[in-house]
């Protein structure tokens, strides 16, 4: 599924934040739709030696080598189960293309600033550096992920993996 990007005027206006909502386990997460290139079904990946467990490997996407990260493993949400609902969201982060494996994609929503809350403070026990905030739509709570900060983090080492592949 190809996604069209919003026009510059829509982005600059900033009235609402458009998010792609995906699931990991029983929780719903959102990420900036402008970072999404496409959504595809999960397929086998080529494993990279000595990569962290959450980096599943790489795929060849129309001639480009794309690292694939399993967010369930990255966030410590238990052992992933790959089935017909498992998808890979292909992202454009800076000048890199990266894929993330999620349990499913559910919706595209618009979230206004009034519906966003700051992430809770847990101290040093829980790392909330990659959480932009918590969005609410009615009774639905969505954890908004700063996907660019997450993918550029040192522990991900994605730039090195992509360069070696």
Beta pairing, strands 55-61 & 64-70: antiparallel
In sequence order, the β-bridge partners of residue 21 are 30, 107
Domain ranges, residue 36: 17-163
Residue 37 burial (10 A CB sphere; 0-12, 13-18, 19+): middle
Q: Count the domains in the chain.
A: 1
The 10s digit of each residue's pLDDT in 109-147 is 998 877 888 776 655 444 567 888 898 888 889 999 999
Query: What Å distances lie between residue 52 and 45, 56, 89, 106, 127, CA to CA?
Result: 14, 8, 19, 28, 18
Q: Supply the CATH number for residue 37's domain.
A: 2.40.50.180
Residue 126 lies in a domain: yes
Percent of the chain with pLDDT over 90: 45
């Amino acid at each position: 599924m190809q996604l069209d990007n919003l026009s510059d005027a829509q982005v600059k206006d900033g009235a609402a934040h458009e998010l792609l909502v995906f699931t990991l386990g029983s929780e719903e997460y959102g990420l900036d739709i402008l970072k999404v290139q496409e959504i595809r079904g999960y397929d086998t990946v080529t494993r990279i030696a000595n990569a962290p467990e959450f980096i599943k490997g790489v795929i060849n996407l129309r001639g480009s080598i794309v690292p694939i990260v399993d967010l369930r493993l990255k966030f410590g949400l238990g052992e992933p189960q790959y089935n017909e609902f498992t998808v890979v969201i292909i992202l454009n982060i800076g000048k890199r293309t990266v894929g993330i494996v999620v349990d499913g994609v559910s919706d595209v929503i618009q979230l206004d600033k009034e519906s966003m809350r700051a992430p809770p403070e847990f101290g040093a026990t829980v790392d909330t550096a990659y959480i932009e905030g918590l969005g609410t739509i009615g009774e639905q709570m969505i954890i908004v992920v700063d996907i660019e900060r997450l993918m550029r983090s040192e522990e991900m080492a994605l730039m090195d993996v992509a360069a070696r592949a």
